Chain A
Amino acid sequence: MAVCPALCDNVQRSNTEEDCHNRMLNEWLLSLARFFDAQNWSTQIHESIYLYAWIETTHVLTLMVFLGMLFVIDLRMLGLAFPNVRASVIAERLDKPMMIGLTLMVITGVLLYYAIPVRTTQSLWFRIKVMLFVLAAINAFAFRARMQASVGSWDTDPKPPRHIRMGAAASILLWAGVVVTGRTIAYDWFDCHKELPYAMYWAAGCVDEMAAFASE
């Protein structure tokens, strides 16, 4: 894109097209976050005595519902639980409560982001969490497709075939990653106001700090 180097030519470190795209994306995300931050509702959620706490509590409770159902399904697919119940029965019957939990968890998660948008947008952990969430979703869809295609041949086996067990293990690991990065958002280890290497500013999308770093 020809416009990119022109926009970024005053920043030495961002003079490659890839860096420039990254910078533009980060600036756009930060503008959006500042737009949310300026809204009255965002401030009210953040500064309310109980509302933020209740949203976060609901987030944890729905996480328990969603992950709880997911664990039951994944443990069955690993051959570690419910060996005498058909795998397809577990997957199909628990799908609905799991999706209800996921929906509520995402809604409350969006509200938590909306309450503290600028810091969250520039949180390295939040960015990793979103990436892991997307990977976990892709794995879930791929896993579901693989399972539906082959379930007839192993449905009643206490221990499903290797490719199904691998998918279930990947699911648990990815969601564990989502949980740990969700928790570490609260820590300020890599917040933009800290003195960090350029790579960390880049990863966290600290636009102003990257510009200051480059102009030194």
Chain B
Amino acid sequence: MDLYPIFDWLDTSLLADISKAYGGVFAVVQMFHLLGMSILGGMVLVGDLRLLNVVMKDTPSEVVIENTHKWFGIGLATMVVSGIFMSSAVSLKLYYNEMFWAKMTALAVGVAFFYFVRRPLLSNSHDAIKPSVLKLMAVTSIAIWFTVAASGRWIGFS
């Protein structure tokens, strides 16, 4: 499916008018993007480092993981909304940018992994899951989200 019409529409939308004309607004939205990424990253890291037995070893991993879900969603929503605004400033350029598509792929994999693998699996008692599976899942999760953040930064360099 060719997504070019969406990017073309975004390039002439009201969002693009604002993001192209007001650098200050763009910078503030970019701040929210980074803060959203930090909230999401913090929740992922706390949960995954707990599964790896690195932090909060005296708190049950079920309690830690359960507490991260709500703020993971808030961080993700902040990232996506601010990301759409930021994309509107250079939407046609992004369409042809390989690093942008690498980030979108990593983001899609991260969201799918979180909602369709990690969350359903961890809703069971963690004692019933092999420790090696928990650790593998934590390492995979950290790797995916670090890739999302790193590839996002590289959009600006490519």
Contacts and interface: CB of A to CB of B under 8 A. Distances in A.
A148 interface: no
A56 B153 contact: yes
Contact of A187 (B23, B35, B45, B70): B23
Nearest to B49: A97
Contact of B45 (A65, A90, A93, A176): A65
A176 B31 contact: yes
Contacts of B54: 97
Interface of A is mostly: helix
A72 B54 CA distance: 16
Nearest to A184: B27
B45 A97 contact: yes
A133 interface: no
A53 B157 CA distance: 7
A59 B143 CA distance: 17
A93 B43 contact: no
A94 B153 CA distance: 26
Interface string B13-56: 00000000001000110110011011111111110010000111
A145 B54 CA distance: 25
Contacts of A72: 42-43, 46
A179 B46 contact: no
A56 B39 CA distance: 20
Given A85-B67, A179-B34, A71 B58 contact: no
Contacts of B42: 64, 67-72
Query: For the side of the interface on A, what is the size category?
Result: 20 to 34
Given A89-B58, A187-B23, A81 B31 contact: no
Contacts of A170: none
Contacts of A84: 63, 67
Interface string A45-73: 00000000100110011011101111110
A179 B150 contact: no
A141 interface: no
Contact of B153 (A57, A75, A90, A97): A57
Shortest beta-carbon contacts, A-B, top 10: A68-B42, A67-B38, A64-B41, A180-B31, A68-B41, A53-B157, A93-B56, A82-B67, A71-B42, A57-B153
Interface of B: 23, 27-28, 30-31, 34-35, 37-46, 49, 54-59, 63-64, 67, 70-71, 146, 149-150, 152-154, 157
12 contacts: A63-B34, A63-B38, A64-B149, A67-B34, A68-B44, A68-B46, A94-B46, A94-B55, A97-B49, A97-B55, A183-B31, A187-B23
Interface of A: 53, 56-57, 60-61, 63-65, 67-72, 75, 81-82, 84-85, 89-90, 93-94, 96-97, 176, 179-180, 183-184, 187, 189
